[in-house]
Structure 1
Amino acid sequence: MDAYTRSAMLLGRESIDTLQQTHVAVFGVGGVGGHCIEALVRTGVGEITIIDNDVVSITNLNRQIVALHSTIGKYKVDVMKERLLDINPELKIHTYKLFILQDTIDQIDFKKFDYIVDAVDTVSAKLLLIEYAKNYKIPIISSMGTGNKLDPTKLLVCDISKTSYCPLAKVMRKELKNRNISNVKVLSSSENPLKPLIGENDENTHKKSVPGSVAFVPNVAGMVIAKEIILDITKTTK
């Protein structure tokens, strides 16, 4: 009996051994990324790199796994690292306090990764990550918008060409087409986005029209992405 016994009952012990030799990079430690990271580690992924330059804020408390009153003001990657090592003290973990921009992305050694999760917010960063993943021939799943959504049952993994009702995916489809990039796996929602009942400015960027968000959509999205990666790596059929 060990920490992975219950998972091995469904995936097989060989799959757990494979996961323990796998290195996944997750860009973004928010509602989607945080739950994805934890699910990957709890299932047996043995090496993980997490990248985020944000700190925990009070508005993160409603959905983010790193957000507690005791962690407000702390870097998300630091909080996540401490949590993950408490789950698996033998985990190989690398953290970067970094926003992904054209002049920062080369600080990351992509050659080390077996899989990439894009859980960042900006279109420019998403495009960069997809371009780099394609150049290095690394599988990537890119999370589309989970804000202003209330129905987690509408979440699905598909090619970006199959997405609908998602404003972010619409922009991404256009930008990827302009770059002649196709066959991009994404997590998207087929739910029509809702209009927030109240408006709010982002306390970090001061941008208007910050989307509303709840605990049961981005968090489920992170779990769905983790499921996809685990079944893909272990070649497990549903």
Structure 2
Amino acid sequence: MNNKPYQRSELIYKDKIKKIKDSNIIIFGLGGVGSVAAESISRNFIKNLTIVDYDIYEVSNLNRQLYSNYDNIGKKKVDVLKENIKKHCKDTNIVARGEKVTDSNIEGFFNINYDYVIDAVDDVKAKLAIIKYCRDNNIPVVSCMGTGNRINPQMLTIDDIFKTFNCPLAKKMRKELKRLGILSLDTVFSKEKPVETVDKKLGSTSFVPGSAGLLLASYVINKIAFEE
């Protein structure tokens, strides 16, 4: 009997499965996008997974964030995700960092060599700190742009950030990245024009953020498996 938890993935990736199993990945942001990315990445049974988020679960998270439920309101997202991931991922070393990312502390998150970095945070300053550190240190990174006010997950795609459109967050990021001299960045974004909401508040669905998280996870795992 084959008791390897990755046996079905091994049928697809064959000898590349070792590269996946030996990989180290860090995910910044565990909201509607990042929580799904973390769950999907974890089911590839990698060596080290670091998850970073300073926030707690609130009622407004219930419509889209993995593991958000009434029992977890007020609990730290990193603690809840670590506990749940460990139930199916016993051999992966999972590090939970309940801290906010800033320019001054970004280096402290990189105490091991990561094969890939996933940026799923909303804050522009935090995104820039993550991306700049990765570029300065030649660490592969993929970043997610806005998924709020969208209703069609089929409009999500992966492209260079300077080819993005219909995304206010990406527009801000392009300006700031140019200022930093960063002229390319692999990005998940939606081609869909955002839906207008009452008082211009940011709305969300259960399916667009999660689909973006799955795109991030598939992109990273396939990059690790197939790129030399």
Shift of 1:20: 1.3
Pick the aligned partner of 1:233 from 219, 224, 228.
Answer: 224
**Mapped pair 1:173 → 2:164:** no
SS of corresponding position for 2:33: helix
Aligned residue identity for 1:120: V
Aligned to 1:54: 55
Aligned to 1:206: none
- The count of aligned residue pairs is 225
SS of corresponding position for 1:31: coil
SS of corresponding position for 2:122: coil
Aligned to 1:113: 114
Aligned to 1:221: 212
C-alpha distance in 1 between matches for 2:96 and 2:102: 17
SS of corresponding position for 1:132: helix
C-alpha distance in 2 between matches for 1:99 and 1:171: 20
Tell me the alpha carbon deviations over residues 142-187 of structure 1, each in whole angstroms, 9 at most, x when there is no partner: 1000000000001011110110110111111111111111221010
State whether residues 21 and 44 of structure 2, in contact with CA within 8 Å, keep that contact through their aligned partners in structure 1: no
Shift of 1:210: 4.1
Aligned residue identity for 2:128: L
C-alpha distance in 2 between matches for 1:44 and 1:161: 33
Pick the aligned partner of 1:3 from 2, 5, 19.
Answer: 5
Aligned residue identity for 2:211: V
Aligned residue identity for 1:170: K
Tell me the alpha carbon deviations over residues 109-161 of structure 1, each in whole angstroms, 9 at most, x when there is no partner: 25521110000011111111110000110110110000000000010111101
State whether residues 145 and 168 of structure 1, in contact with CA within 8 Å, keep that contact through their aligned partners in structure 2: yes
Q: TM-score, normalised by structure 2?
A: 0.95
Shift of 1:47: 1.0
C-alpha distance in 2 between matches for 1:20 and 1:66: 24
C-alpha distance in 1 between matches for 2:167 and 2:73: 31
**Mapped pair 1:157 → 2:158:** yes
SS of corresponding position for 2:25: strand
State whether residues 33 and 222 of structure 1, in contact with CA within 8 Å, keep that contact through their aligned partners in structure 2: yes
Aligned residue identity for 2:109: I
In structure 1, the gaps of 5 or more residues are 200-208
Tell me the alpha carbon deviations over residues 29-82 of structure 1, each in whole angstroms, 9 at most, x when there is no partner: 111001001111112322100110000111111010020111111000000000
Aligned residue identity for 1:92: N
Aligned to 1:79: 80
State whether residues 110 and 136 of structure 1, in contact with CA within 8 Å, keep that contact through their aligned partners in structure 2: no
